[in-house]
Amino acid sequence: MKDQKEIINKYKYEDELIDQGIEYIAGCDEVGRGPIAGPLVVSAVILPNDFRIKGIDDSKKLTEKKRLELYKEIIKKAVAINTIFVFEDEIDEHDIYSCTQKAMRDAILGLKVTPGHALVDAMPLPGLEIPHTSIIKGDLLSASIGAASIIAKVTRDEYMKKMDIKYPNYGFARHKGYCTKEHVEALEKYGPCKIHRKTFAPVDKFFNRQMQFDL
């Protein structure tokens, strides 16, 4: 009974749209706005309208094992998935908010099947002509957004594990580029590497020092 209620709640937004006759509903979410290293990753996912699975949630609240289980199930069953990477140079050139908006629009528009409606986690998307709804805490409230969150999180985590091999001094496999004590201590000891975001504190101070030196 509890599981059934959870599923009903998670698919509330989707079921309302299905009742309106909408065939393809996209969920869209991002992972990586907060880290001081590594890319922003945005995923858009269209699940089948009859797809019901227990356990989809905000990806950060799931164990790695559970995320991977759900990731495999979503990959297997999804109608369409599109994932966008926004790398450090672009984030530094613009800003994380506008980069997130653009990547979300691109992820939704790049789906191989055009959705009739998109459900988006928190972010308003001006200029997106596809009908869409921005939902605060959407990854908790919508299965489609939660599925996108899981795809983005697993994709980014795997990328950061590769970066840990390439740049072994920073512990990227453990903290995934977030500003942990371990990460800050490594940053102070070794300085920033190529995938650090130059405009994010405390990374920015290293480049401010260089600018002062150059002057």
- What pLDDT score does 145 carry? 96
**What is the distance between the alpha carbons of residues 167 and 15, in angstroms, rounded to a whole number?**
45
Domain that holds residue 162: 2-214
What is the model's pTM? 0.93
Read off the CATH number of the domain in which 136 is found: 3.30.420.10
The structural domain count of the chain equals: 1
**pLDDT bucket at 214, cuts 50 / 70 / 90:** very low
**pLDDT bucket at 213, cuts 50 / 70 / 90:** very low
pLDDT in tens, 140-189: 999 999 999 999 999 999 999 999 999 999 999 999 999 999 999 999 99
Place of tokens 């797809």: 51
Place of tokens 């749209």: 17
Q: How would you class 162 by CB atoms within 10 Å of its CB: exposed for 0-12, middle for 13-18, buried for 19 or more?
A: exposed
**Mean pLDDT, range 65-86, rounded to an integer:** 96
Residues facing residue 49 across a β-bridge: none
CB 13 within 8 A of CB 141: yes
Residues facing residue 45 across a β-bridge: 27, 81
**Mean pLDDT, range 20-42, rounded to an integer:** 97
Query: What Cα–Cα distance (Å) separates residue 21 from each residue in 16, 51, 59, 94?
Result: 9, 16, 29, 39
Q: How would you class 102 by CB atoms within 10 Å of its CB: exposed for 0-12, middle for 13-18, buried for 19 or more?
A: middle
- What pLDDT score does 56 carry? 84
User: Please, what is the average pLDDT of the chain?
Assistant: 93
